[in-house]
């Protein structure tokens, strides 16, 4: 898949899956505009990949809108940023719930609104990939707010797919299983919990960031021109187990 000359906005580009997506896009000739939080990651992305990088806290709705407007115009959008906090359902706090929904659900909506408005205004086509999770399909203990936020994101993806396709903009969701990134360290460091999850993955391993990035880039590309509104698990068969 070639992205030569194409500009791609990638949120959450500083670490994990987002960073791998940036690496692949740079290798395939794409120009990345990275939106991410940590100043050190912004500097590293500029230095390593020569990409534009904008520092923003996606939990802040106004700052998010300002950042994406500064990132435009772009050919493609990947909403990859995400965050989690482990709390049993009965102890899930309103603050944590709101934080997760702000970053995992509201920010992708704001970013996609500005991206799509810009394309429609210019009469150009495009594609959006929202990085969701298998957690939007199943109930994972201690992940109530996370599961809810990703379920909300899936709802947005489907509405975007219907409303934006007439403008030539496709939208799809990618749903990773446990992927070996800093987030997985946070969520799956308990060996007993990790072993239980691994047992349900028929291919017998957790995902690498590159496993997810390849699928994301496929869904953006013209090879997927007829794919719109899907929720694509990248889970080694977890969902059928």
Residue 143 DSSP code: B
Give the residue with the Cβ less far from ligand NDP, 7 or 132: 132
236 part of the interface to ligand NDP, by CB under 6 A:
no
Q: 115 vs 62, 152, 167, CA distance in Å?
A: 15, 19, 12
Residue 127, interface with ligand NDP (CB under 6 A)? no
State yes or no: residue 38 binds ligand NDP (CB under 6 A).
yes
157 lies in the site for ligand NDP, by CB under 6 A: no
Q: Does 59 bind ligand NDP (CB under 6 A)?
A: yes
The DSSP code for 29 is T
HSE-CB at 135 with a 13 A cutoff on CA atoms is: 25
* Least spacing, CB of residue 185 vs ligand NDP, in Å: 8
166 burial via Cβ count (<10 Å: 0-12, 13-18, 19+): exposed
φ and ψ at 77, to 5 degrees? -135, 130
Stretch that binds ligand NDP, among 14-22, 89-97, 114-122, 219-227 (CB under 6 A): 14-22
Check binding of 58 to ligand NDP (CB under 6 A).
yes
Give the relative orientation of helices 107-122 and 144-164 as an angle to the nearest 10 degrees.
10
238 in active site: no
Peptide bond into 184 cis (omega under 30): no
Q: Among 6, 23, 37, 143, indicate the residue that binds ligand NDP (CB under 6 A).
A: 37
- Please state, in angstroms and rounded to a whole number, the distance separating the CA atoms of residues 10 and 35: 6
* Least distance from ligand NDP to the Cβ atom of residue 212, Å: 7
- Would you please indicate which residues are annotated as catalytic (active-site) residues? 146, 150
Q: Which residues bind ligand NDP (CB under 6 A)?
A: 12, 14-18, 36-38, 41, 56-59, 80-83, 103, 131, 133, 176, 178-179, 181-184
């Amino acid at each position: 898949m070639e992205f030569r000359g194409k500009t791609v906005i990638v949120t959450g580009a500083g670490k994990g899956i987002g960073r791998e997506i940036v690496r692949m896009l740079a290798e395939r000739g794409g120009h990345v505009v990275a939106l991410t939080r940590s100043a050190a990651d912004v500097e590293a992305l500029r230095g390593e990949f020569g990409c534009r990088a904008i520092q923003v806290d996606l939990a802040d709705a106004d700052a998010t809108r300002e950042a994406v407007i500064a990132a435009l115009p772009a050919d493609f959008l990947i909403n990859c940023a995400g965050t989690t906090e482990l709390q049993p359902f009965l102890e899930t706090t309103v603050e944590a719930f709101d934080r997760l929904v702000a970053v995992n659900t509201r920010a992708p909506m704001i970013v996609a609104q500005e991206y799509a408005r810009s394309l429609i205004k210019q009469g150009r086509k495009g594609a959006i990939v929202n990085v969701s999770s298998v957690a939007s399909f199943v109930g994972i203990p201690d992940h109530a707010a996370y599961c809810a936020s990703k379920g909300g994101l899936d709802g947005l993806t489907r509405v975007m797919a219907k409303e934006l396709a007439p403008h030539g903009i496709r939208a799809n969701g990618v749903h990773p299983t446990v992927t070996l990134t800093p987030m997985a360290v946070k969520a799956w460091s308990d060996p007993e919990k990790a072993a239980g999850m691994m047992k349900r993955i028929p291919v017998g391993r957790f995902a690498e960031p590159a496993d997810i990035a390849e699928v994301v880039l496929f869904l953006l590309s013209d090879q997927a021109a007829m794919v719109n509104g899907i929720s694509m698990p990248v889970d080694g068969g977890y969902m059928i187990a």
